Amino acid sequence: MPELPEVESLRRLLVRSVVGRTIVHATVTNAALRRRVPSDFARQIVGRRIERLGRRAKYLMVELGGELTMLVHLGMSGSLTRRCGAFPESSFDRRHDHLELKLDDRSRLVFNDPRRFGLVKLVARADAASCSELRALGPEPLGPDFNSAYLAQKARGRRAAIKNFLMDQKVVAGIGNIYAAEILFRAGVRPARRVYTLSRTELKRIAEATPNVLREAIGLRGTTFRSYRDSRGKPGAFSRRLKVYGRENEPCPRCWAPIKNVVVGQRASFFCPRCQH
DNA sequence: CTTACATCCTGATTGC
DNA sequence: TGCAATCAGGATGTAA
């Protein structure tokens, strides 16, 4: 489940190998993603140079020549891999390869997504920030606008559980189920706590834990849970650092109490019943 | 405005 | 063992 750290890791890995390359050919083998890939997609991007790779929330922004930006969202199960002669084709599961971009160094960028919750969309660069996917997003959790004062202001009058609140992309952009659980563990706050009941101290701990957890995960190239792989097809290393996510009944790394899993807002929510209040 | 919930999809897991 | 049912989950659209 790619969240901000996984997308940022992907961006950093691809920067070295694809920036400056030109797309010489594009193939759409399955256009039925979250939104249908338009029929002129290939024609729109062929011949353009990849000028810059950016990121907003969980969106990778591939800035192409001619003021065109390709937004890529990996959804639940998507991956973008660079494939070249160095790796045998048999090392990839090609069943769900939907898009393939051939570059001028004979490498290929392939978008693969079994569940097809992902999104690939072209938008004029000047309009990117105001497109329907990006315009309502809250601040970046690693940016200067995200802090406890901001959280407290957004939290006023909201009855939502803190975990749903952190996963609300309009509140803060880029956090999903895994990192919400880890942030709340480190902040010592239960996922089901309603946001308006949180003390200033608790909000402060959450605001501080958020960038700390995300930065640590980026440093380890993200989390692999089930199927996520980075752009070279390698698993991320943060998985082993997960303190609560996916660890139901395992001992809490801090106090040894068994980790619990409760459903909050229709999502599995792991927490330590002794450390989190 | 906020919140709740169904929907999309397929691989993995669980149940019989 | 094998097949069928269930679950997982990000974003979105609709309804309350």
A95-132 confidence digits (pLDDT tens)? 899 999 999 999 999 999 999 999 999 999 999 999 99
Q: Mean of the pLDDT values across residues A220-248? A: 66
Q: Against a cut of 0.75, is the pTM above it? A: yes
* Chain B footprint positions (protein CB, under 7 Å): 2-6, 8-12
Residue A266: pLDDT band with limits 50, 70, 90: confident
DSSP H or E run through A49: none
Q: Is it the case that residue A241 has pLDDT exceeding 90?
A: no
Q: Is it the case that residue A195 has pLDDT exceeding 60?
A: yes
Strand B within 7 A of A96 CB: yes
From A56, A58, A83, A163, active-site residue: A58
Pairing of strands A260-264, A23-28: unpaired
Q: What is the mean pLDDT of chain A?
A: 90
Q: What is the Cα Rg of chain A in Å? A: 20
Q: Is it the case that residue A226 has pLDDT exceeding 60?
A: no
Strand C within 7 A of A75 CB: yes
Instruction: Find which nucleotide's C1' atom is closest to A114's CA.
Output: B10
Interatomic distance A147 CA / C8 C1' (Å): 31
pLDDT at A237: 63
- C-alpha–C-alpha distance, residues A237 and A97, integer Å: 25
- The encoded tokens of residue A150 equal 């901001």
Q: Are A149 and A238 in contact (CB under 8 A)?
A: no
Over residues A160-174, the pLDDT tens digits come to 999 999 999 999 999
Q: In the structure, how many helices (H) and strands (E) does chain A have?
A: 6, 10
pLDDT at A14: 94
Strand C within 7 A of A133 CB: yes
Annotated catalytic residue A267: yes
Nearest to A77 by CA among A103, A116, A44, A40: A116
- The encoded tokens of residue A237 equal 């290393």
CA distances, A110 to each of A160, A208, A252 (Å): 38, 36, 39
Q: Are A110 and A81 in contact (CB under 8 A)?
A: yes
Q: Which amino acid is at A110?
A: V
Strand C within 7 A of A230 CB: no
Query: How would you list the strands of the sheet with A79-83, edge to edge?
Result: A23-28, A97-103, A108-112, A79-83
Q: Is it the case that residue A227 has pLDDT exceeding 90?
A: no
Nearest to A196 by CA among A168, A165, A174, A222: A165
Over residues A4-61, the pLDDT tens digits come to 999 999 999 999 999 999 999 999 999 999 899 999 999 999 999 999 999 999 999 9
Instruction: Find which nucleotide's C1' atom is closest to A161's CA.
Output: B3
Interatomic distance A17 CA / C10 C1' (Å): 28
* Residue A82 vs residue A233, higher pLDDT: A82
Q: Mean of the pLDDT values across residues A57-67? A: 96
From A3, A100, A140, A182, active-site residue: A3
Residue the block writes with tokens 């996963």: A167
Interatomic distance A170 CA / C14 C1' (Å): 19
CB atoms within 10 A of CB A125: 15
Q: Mean of the pLDDT values across residues A248-262? A: 92
